[in-house]
Structure 1
Amino acid sequence: MAYSSRSSRRAALLAGGVAVLGLLTACGNDGAGSGPQKVSGTAGPATETAAEDPAPSSPSAGAATTGGSTSASAPAAATSSKAGTGTGTGTGSRTPAGGRCHTSELRASVGRNDPGAGQENFPVVLTNKSARTCTLHGYPGAAFVNASGGQVGPDPRRSSGSPVTVTLKPGQSAWAGLTFSNPEVSGADTATPAALLVTPPDERDQLKVAWTAGPVPVSGNSSSAFLSVFSPGTGA
């Protein structure tokens, strides 16, 4: 009986140990299984997002816009530079061919008087004597001088007007009006100049034209002469 009782207890202990071992093994297997399942579950969606999400292209576009990517922004800068060059060339091509007329390329003359309402009106004419096309823009300069070259009276003043660019091909002319009050009407003091000096717009050298139209006002009432802007033609 004592033997049977001891054997029974040993069998019971062995069975209990087996049960506990089985329980520990089961718990260990559950823990090991849950670890790989979590890794697999996280990696799966991440892999799908990388394959389907277009987000990888966004940083490149953003870098080009913000200048964060040198390689992306450099071609854009080069294109802009070429476009700017094209625009500058276009603007330059609208500039009149030949540029302004220089004094050495012009011939000056004074046309016939066209009096009216107590005024004397003369066209001061510049003709392109060169072989190239050039332009005049604005007012001429002018001064009456005596035989010794001394100035007679004040410089003519500018009358109101809107300057335009006059293009002169070889042989073509432009004219500006020279106007002053008739001294016999105004009562101004007069002098008779020997010549009229004419300076083309934006030039310093002068052209000398013999003056044969008689006395001009130099002081007193209505003694000022006036010049208008250049217009195409001879004013005849």
Structure 2
Amino acid sequence: MTVRRPAGLAAATVAVLAAAVLLTACDDGAGTGAQPAPTVTVTGAVSAQPTSSGKAAVPGATPTGPLVSQSAGARCAADELKATVQLQEAGSAMVTLTNKGSRTCTLFGYPGYGGLRPDNGADPLPVKREPHPGAPTVITLKPGTTAFSGLKWSSCDKADPSCHVIGGLRLTPPDETKQLTAEVLGLDGKPVLQLPVSAQGLTTGSLQPSNQGVVFAGP
């Protein structure tokens, strides 16, 4: 005699077997010592730092641009500035950048320099940066106000072929490509027509909001 099992009982049996298979698979993972993946908790966000162009830099990346950082829309353009190089002791000068424009702008970093021969021809000079009297700081220049920087060099014999005999300086403000001619004045306040600079070139200090301490000490 054939015994027929109810359809409901067969379905229940299949469900029980499926559950057993699932539990067995879970037990096998635990039995082999496998551990669940650790949970990583982020406790802070890493902020990208702005570059001199105003774009965010990837943390840890090596910077390739100038060592400056400011808002491109607010920075002082070359046309808005007047530059003066006032000689101090032998081989040193105080550089001033005055806002001659009608708007407030900012400066941050180091001036760039190029030499001018007495005939106004370009004289490329090596220029080194030194954080003197301290690291650069953002300077807000209202119309008529001034930023300051130190400049130093070693003198040389004008007859030496490696000596740069310059009659002026071209200055490039931070983050700018346009240059402006800086007026070079002697201790007597009169224009300097010839300035001998050795092959080592110039060393520039950082731009500061005050003239306190910006002049390099003499040799």
Structure 2: which amino acid aligns with 1:150?
G
Cα distance between partner residues in 2 of 1:135 and 1:214: 32
Give the one of 144, 151, 157 matched to 2:122.
Answer: 151
Is 1:232 equivalent to 2:196 in the alignment? no
Secondary structure of the 2:79 match is helix
Is 1:200 equivalent to 2:199 in the alignment? no
Cα distance between partner residues in 2 of 1:225 and 1:188: 17
- 1:136 aligns with 107
- 1:181 aligns with 154
Secondary structure of the 2:143 match is coil
Structure 2: which amino acid aligns with 1:154?
L
CA gap of 1:148–1:182, structure 2 versus 1, over 3 A, is: closer
Two-structure CA RMSD over aligned residues (Å):
2.8
Secondary structure of the 2:87 match is coil
Structure 2: which amino acid aligns with 1:129?
K
Q: Is the 8 A contact 2:92 2:151 kept in 1?
A: yes
CA deviation digits over 1:109-145, x for unaligned, max 9?
1113234xxxx11112110011211110000110111
CA gap of 1:190–1:148, structure 2 versus 1, over 3 A, is: same
Cα distance between partner residues in 2 of 1:202 and 1:155: 18
Give the one of 185, 194, 197 matched to 1:217.
Answer: 197
The percent identity for this pair of structures is 33
**1:210, distance to aligned residue in structure 2 (A):** 4.1
Cα distance between partner residues in 1 of 2:210 and 2:99: 11
CA gap of 1:148–1:214, structure 2 versus 1, over 3 A, is: closer
Gaps of at least 5 residues in structure 1 are 1-94
Deviation larger for 132-141 or 174-183: 174-183
- 2:80 aligns with 105
Is 1:125 equivalent to 2:96 in the alignment? yes
Cα distance between partner residues in 2 of 1:200 and 1:164: 14
CA deviation digits over 1:170-205, x for unaligned, max 9?
110011111012336xx9942321210001011111
Q: In the TM superposition, what are the counterparts of 1:17-28 in structure 2 within 5 Å? A: none
Higher relative contact order (CA 8 A, sep 6+): 2
**TM (normalized to structure 2)?**
0.53
Cα distance between partner residues in 2 of 1:227 and 1:176: 7
Structure with bigger helix share is 1
Q: Is the 8 A contact 1:124 1:175 kept in 2?
A: yes
**TM (normalized to structure 1)?**
0.49
Cα distance between partner residues in 2 of 1:210 and 1:177: 15
Secondary structure of the 1:104 match is helix
- 1:169 aligns with 142
Moved over 6 A (4+): none
Secondary structure of the 2:163 match is strand
Cα distance between partner residues in 2 of 1:176 and 1:142: 12
Secondary structure of the 1:201 match is coil
Point out the structure with max Rg over C-alpha. 1
Number of equivalent positions: 133
